[in-house]
Amino acid sequence: MTLTFPEGERAADYARRLSGAGLDGEGFLRLAENPGALKPPYVEGRGLEGYLFPATYTFDLLATPEEVVRAMLRRFEAELTPPVRRLLEERGLSVHAWVTLAPSSRPRREARRRCPTSPGSS
């Protein structure tokens, strides 16, 4: 099955989409809020909000919440290329700062030229 998770939606919205498709949306939301061992080292804070990459995914009809979260994190990490990491380091920004500051700069072209492209903005 193919599901699209639009940019700007939150984990709870993604969970509703998953539930609507017959997958375990509640389990997904629990993992997004408390990921335990699935939490990557660059995530500051408790949950994965902001790190679940908005995109179109193809999942097995029996995909587990863990598989969905892992797919979204893999896609996020694909945006975190070595050049992006270097640029973040040069500018003294953490991955968390990139995720949390980027949405406020999206409407301003000038800000986009000065900062690395944020996840989901390309």
CA distance 66 to 118: 24
Q: Do residue 58 and residue 105 come from a single domain?
A: no
Examine residue 122 and state whether it is found in any structural domain, yes or no: no
Examine residue 93 and state whether it is found in any structural domain, yes or no: yes
What confidence tens digit (pLDDT) does each residue in 48-65 have?
A: 999 999 999 999 999 999
Q: Do residue 72 and residue 37 come from a single domain?
A: yes
What confidence tens digit (pLDDT) does each residue in 54-97 have?
A: 999 999 999 999 999 999 999 999 988 999 999 999 999 999 88
Q: Do residue 32 and residue 12 come from a single domain?
A: yes
In terms of phi and psi (left: phi > 0; alpha: psi -120 to 50; beta: otherwise), the region of 118 is beta
Examine residue 51 and state whether it is found in any structural domain, yes or no: yes
Domain that includes residue 8, residue range:
2-79
Q: Do residue 97 and residue 75 come from a single domain?
A: no
pTM: 0.79
Tabulate helix, strand, coil % of the chain (nearest 5): 50, 5, 45
CA separation, residue 113 to residues 42, 99, 102 (Å): 24, 16, 12
